Structures are given as C-alpha cells and as structure tokens.
Amino acid sequence: MHHELTQDQLRHRARRRVGALLAVVLIVIVGWFTFERIDASLREQGELSVRNAILGSAKQCCAIEGSYPSSLQYLEDNYGLVVNHDDYVITYSVFAGNVMPNVVVLAK
C-alpha cells in the first residue's frame, strides 16, 4: 500500500534536511578555524624551540670559549646544532663577542 505524504510532512522533511546541511556546514567551518589556530600555535612553538636551541648553543660556546660565536654556521659545525633551514628563516646577528647575539627565527 502506497502512502502519500501531506504538505506538512514534506515541509517538515525539507526543514530537517536544511537543518542537517547547516549543521554540517557549521561543523566544517568550526573545524577549519580550529585547525588554523592549532597550526599557528605549532608554528610559534617551533620558532621558539629553534630560537632557544640556537641561544643555548651560543651560551655553551661562550662558556667554553669565552665569547659568543660569530655565526650560526660555527655553532652547526662545532657544537652539534642542527637547524632545518628548509622550514625556518634565521637571522643571527652579533654585535660583539661579549654580547649575546640577536636571533630571530621565522617559519617559512
């Protein structure tokens, strides 16, 4: 036996479908914003971690040799510092051997 749907039943189904579609769109938008915030946070943490590793190696060099290294390459060659230059842009500037270097790390 075939049962015809009334206009009210058809409208109710249409509202439910629209409501479900809106819920899915909302979930996708919230998920995208959440992912963007997490990604930004991880990038910041990575930058800070690389900067701290560089400064730690520079301090170790100063403690052993009596002055801060003149270049980042010196730390990589002599103190085992490993930096992923494909993922980060690093500015390492030295004013004098007895002044801690200025280190800026930015994720690419």
**83 assigned to some structural domain:** yes
Domains held by the chain: number: 1
Q: What is the DSSP letter of 4?
A: P
| Higher per-residue pLDDT: 2 or 56 | 56
Q: Does any domain span residue 50?
A: yes
Please check whether residue 2 lies inside any domain of the structure: no
Q: Is residue 62 part of a domain?
A: yes
Q: Which domain holds residue 69?
A: 7-107
Q: What is d(CA 3, CA 38) in angstroms, rounded to the nearest whole number?
A: 51
Q: Report which of residues 51 and 108 the model is more confident about.
A: 51
pLDDT in tens, 32-72: 999 989 888 888 999 999 999 999 999 999 999 999 999 99
What is the value of pTM for the model shown?
A: 0.70
User: How does pLDDT run across 32-42, given as a tens digit for each residue?
Assistant: 999 989 888 88
The answer to whether residue 98 sits within a structural domain is yes
Is pLDDT above 70 for 2?
A: no
For residue 77, give Cα distances in angstroms to 43, 53, 72, 81, 100.
26, 15, 9, 8, 19
Beta carbons within 10 angstroms of residue 92's beta carbon? 20
Residue 19 lies in a domain: yes
Secondary structure (3-state) at 77: helix
